[in-house]
Amino acid sequence: MDGFMKFIQASPTAFHAVANLAEMLVAAGYQALEERQPWRLQRGGRYYVTRNGSALIAFRLPEGRLDHYQLVASHADSPAFKLKPNPKREAQGYALLNVEKYGGMIMSTWFDRPLSVAGRLAVRTPGGIETKRVYLDRDLALIPNMPIHFNRDVNDGVKLNAQVDMLPVYGAAGADILALAAEAAGVAVEDVAGFDLFLVNRDAPRLWGAQGEYIASPRLDDLECAYASIRALIGAKPSAHGDMACVFDNEEVGSGTRQGADSTLLTDVLTRAARGMDVEDVEAMIAGSFMLSADNAHAVHPNHPEQYDAENRVSMNGGVVVKFNTAQKYTSDGVSQAVFEALCKRAGVPVQRFANRSDIPGGSTLGNIANTHASMPSVDIGLAQLAMHSANESAGVRDLGYMIDAMRTFHETEIEVAGDGDVRISWAD
Ligand code: CO
């Protein structure tokens, strides 16, 4: 938990999360690859590649023939507000940030709490443009609520307009957000040629509950699964297949970007890794691979249990959740569920099953989208959390360890997609 809490605090945006995950991989002996360079891969080698600085795929190769991959997919982005290209506004003597919504957050949870700005700058240099990650690592901004005296109906449901109600104050008129960002990045403000900056919640992750059994934190969806996937890959014993962890960007806005799950990123990496290992039949390799699509799940809310299916609801600290959706927003089916639950049993990890009420459509995620590019048997999993897409979400302290154990066992298990619908499972010992 300690390492995870530090990671989440140091990862205000996908850019930072990817940089921190890359650092963990380098410390574990993984080598960086560049998409624009030729890849010289070695048997038994461990590598990672990033795209846009906000998505990452790490993989390790077997010593022998590369038959298939066992991969985990998650995402690094979270709902937030994003600064518009002309980010400055002034009103009533205040400097405001001109922001818009990125993804579907619960907007009211962003009121009256310390916020700051993070992301990246595009910096003009003699040679062209260079990107620089930036985080104004201090309490900088706040979106004040309207007092109840002017808003008597606020407790009967409040309607918020992102264009009007959600602009944060970050000082007295005259403050210059780009100058502050340039200073934090150590560059001259006149060299800032562009930016991708987000408003971020400054709250530190904290444990709560009678036994400290819960964690409240920004960005648990989906940094919990992203962190677990890298920890599991690093910690897993060598296997006879290829192992991979994919952390995509832009899941919260539909994944349809160069660095999202609806891109060529996964197939590009699978294909290049196959080529480097002299795999002749790449399609057979992909068809024989197996995916865990890992994104957090909804724990039953004690005040509104009626919103959840009576037999398919899950709770925090109850173990890894297998997610089902008959409209196929989740990839789980009877076969992939059976495979995943078998390895959880092997790992001693409890499993819970989630499905929505029939009259609630629920959310979406990325495994089904990635599967339209690289198609393979797949199961959707996650950790049960409360208040999804709140500025502060809550999850169970024991569940993170369960997820890491389940993912590690997944990599240490030989999952052979033997035929159309048959899967052979074997363990190294
Ligand atoms: Co998510």
Residue 299: enclosing H or E segment and its boundaries?
none
* Ligand 1 centroid to residue 333 C-alpha, Å: 20
pLDDT-derived band at 350 (thresholds 50, 70, 90) equals: very high
Over pLDDT 90: what percentage of the chain? 96
Please compute the mean of the pLDDT values over residues 53-64 and round it to a whole number: 98
* Ligand 1 centroid to residue 226 C-alpha, Å: 10
Please compute the mean of the pLDDT values over residues 395-418 and round it to a whole number: 97
pLDDT, position 427: 84
* Ligand 1 centroid to residue 294 C-alpha, Å: 8
Q: Tell me if 296 sits within 8 A of 364, measured CB to CB.
A: no
CA distance 394 to 218: 9
* Ligand 1 centroid to residue 427 C-alpha, Å: 31
pLDDT-derived band at 40 (thresholds 50, 70, 90) equals: very high
pLDDT, position 168: 98
CA max distance for the chain:
71
Please compute the mean of the pLDDT values over residues 162-186 and round it to a whole number: 98
Note residues around ion ligand 1 (Cβ under 5 angstroms).
Answer: 221-222, 295
* Ligand 1 centroid to residue 170 C-alpha, Å: 29
Please compute the mean of the pLDDT values over residues 309-320 and round it to a whole number: 97
pLDDT-derived band at 419 (thresholds 50, 70, 90) equals: confident
* Ligand 1 centroid to residue 25 C-alpha, Å: 22
pLDDT, position 348: 98
pLDDT, position 361: 86
pLDDT-derived band at 155 (thresholds 50, 70, 90) equals: very high
Average pLDDT, the chain: 96
The more confidently predicted of residues 418 and 229 is 229
In DSSP notation, 34-88 reads -TTS-----TT-EEEEEETTTEEEEEE--SS----EEEEEEE----EEEEEEEEE
* Ligand 1 centroid to residue 161 C-alpha, Å: 23
- Structural domains of the chain sorted by starting position, each given as residue range(s) with its CATH number in brackets: 2-78+218-426 (3.40.630.10), 80-201 (2.30.250.10)
pLDDT-derived band at 429 (thresholds 50, 70, 90) equals: low
pLDDT, position 363: 83
* Ligand 1 centroid to residue 366 C-alpha, Å: 8
Residue 416 CB neighbours (<10 A): 17
* Ligand 1 centroid to residue 297 C-alpha, Å: 8
The more confidently predicted of residues 237 and 429 is 237
* Ligand 1 centroid to residue 222 C-alpha, Å: 5
98-127 pLDDT, tens digit each: 999 999 999 999 999 999 999 999 999 999
* Ligand 1 centroid to residue 353 C-alpha, Å: 17
Strands 69-75 and 393-396 come out as unpaired
pLDDT, position 362: 82
pLDDT, position 13: 98
* Ligand 1 centroid to residue 136 C-alpha, Å: 25
* Ligand 1 centroid to residue 227 C-alpha, Å: 13
Model pTM score: 0.97
